[in-house]
Structure 1
Amino acid sequence: MSNVHVVSHPLVQHKLTLMRDKTVSTKGFRQLLNEIGMLLAYEVTRDLPIELIEVETPLAKTMQPTIAGKKLVFAPILRAGTGFLDGMLNLVPSARVAHVGLYRDPQTLEAVEYYFKAPTDVAERLVIVMDPMLATGNSAIAALDRLKRRGVRDMRFVCLLAAPEGVERLTNAHPDVEIWTAAIDEKLNDHGYIVPGLGDAGDRMFGTK
């Protein structure tokens, strides 16, 4: 699919393999997710618009590039999406942050919203929506729906792992939103988990069950 970007950088793939290992500690998993977040942020912002401004160096005045327009917004889907946040903010420290609180109903697998907070002018900014796992696609679709109701029209979605089913559902629901992921795995199991995957990213990140 033309709107799906698999980030094949060796560092991303190496760190993802480490995260798949069930013996990795909570601390190690969290650190790796933070590091991959930074690397994925580098890829998803590769084509940000730039403009020339005048800068005076110790030697001369010169016209040099800077990012144009309003600062972008990072929008992690709670709770696991926050695992990307520190790494991305390390790369773009001036970015604004929105929070989208969703949980997956264990019976229906549908996303249920419990919290939403975004900058007042979020509709005027590029919004990077993030969640480590794109499984059924329900949470991602609900988050994008919610942001569109606030007027946002320029969004990108970043995840660590995706299932083909989730990619297809998200693409059908929001064909205008491009997807960045480190890998597209084999399938979903009967409980809506990505296989082979890496388990529940939120539980592994926070040490919960």
Structure 2
Amino acid sequence: MGNSDAAVKKLPMQNGNTTNLTLLVNENSTENGTEEYGSNLKILPANDVIRELQTILRDRTTSRSDFKFYADRLIRLVIEESLNQLPFTKCVITTPTGCQYDGLKYQKGNCGVSIVRSGEAMEQGLRDCCRSIRIGKILVESDVDTHEARVVYAKFPDDIAKRKVLLMYPIMSTGNTVIKAIAVLKEHNVLEENIILSNLFCTPFAAKTLVTAFPKMKILTSEIHAVAPNHFGQKYFGCRERGVSKKYN
């Protein structure tokens, strides 16, 4: 096995220790390509700016104010690229100098849906790009006894079945929460091919699970990595973690 095909990486574990894990890292799939996951999964083109943002968000020494600031920057980049997956129509406009310009405009009928709570962090980024867009919500919780994900609340635009849906969820470790959310969208007659999943960090397991379960859905993420920053929601909103008394500040 050549060095260009695989690498051994030392990854931090939750208890602060490190362990050597042999990860098969396909350079094309992890940074730029989607061969392993199909053409409907897209990763933001890798550059130093994006890698710096990812580094800051993963760094445990990052303050909450810095975390939120840089998270919003990465969210904006992901949202902008997600919007690029929506359909456009050609149009001709007249400039202030009277010239004709052949341009593009979004087709009508788009909406956002955030998976509460961490998905709500992405709502402002979407509103900053689409001022009047309608946004629905889905709340998925883990059952105390079975630990299975279950939907406890869903609120959508009445005509969501006719719309393209930008589903927002920043961290995907297993994909189970997103699977439940998509099941609810399908119950409301949303077509799988009309769903665009906007995500910041995704594990290879979650990516494979979702592209297998929903091959027609488009997915846009900034990174596929074996370790997902699961502290994202708590730190972004300044919440206490379960069993931890300290607050992020």
Larger mean CA deviation between 165-174 and 66-75 belongs to 66-75
Q: Secondary structure at the match of 1:157?
A: strand
- Is 1:89–1:95's contact at 8 Å kept on the other side of the alignment? yes
Deviation track 1:158-203 (CA, whole Å, cap 9, x = no partner) reads 11111121112212221111211111112xxxxxxxx2x3232211
CA distance in 2, matches of 1:109, 1:171: 23
Q: Secondary structure at the match of 1:52?
A: strand
Asked if residue 157 in structure 1 is aligned to residue 197 in structure 2, the reply is yes
Q: Which residue is equivalent to 1:191?
A: none
Identity %: 26
Correspondence 1:13-92 to 2 at 5 A: 13-60=51-98, 62-92=100-130
- RMSD of aligned Cα (Å): 1.9
Larger mean CA deviation between 1-10 and 91-100 belongs to 1-10
Aligned amino acid, residue 37 of structure 1: I
Asked if residue 207 in structure 1 is aligned to residue 247 in structure 2, the reply is no
Question: Across the two proteins, how many residue pairs are aligned to each other?
Answer: 200
Q: 1:18 to 1:149 in 2, by over 3 A?
A: same
Aligned amino acid, residue 88 of structure 2: I
Runs of 4+ in 1 over 4 A off after TM superposition: 106-109
CA distance in 2, matches of 1:40, 1:51: 22
Asked if residue 174 in structure 1 is aligned to residue 214 in structure 2, the reply is yes
Aligned amino acid, residue 210 of structure 2: L
Larger mean CA deviation between 71-80 and 100-109 belongs to 100-109
Structure 2, unpaired ranges of 5+: 1-36, 242-249
Aligned amino acid, residue 167 of structure 2: V
Normalized against structure 1, the TM-score is what?
0.87
Larger mean CA deviation between 96-105 and 145-154 belongs to 96-105
Q: Which residue is equivalent to 1:118?
A: 156
The answer to which structure, 1 or 2, has the higher relative contact order (CA under 8 A, 6+ apart) is 1
Deviation track 1:124-179 (CA, whole Å, cap 9, x = no partner) reads 11101111111111100011111111111100111111112111221222111121
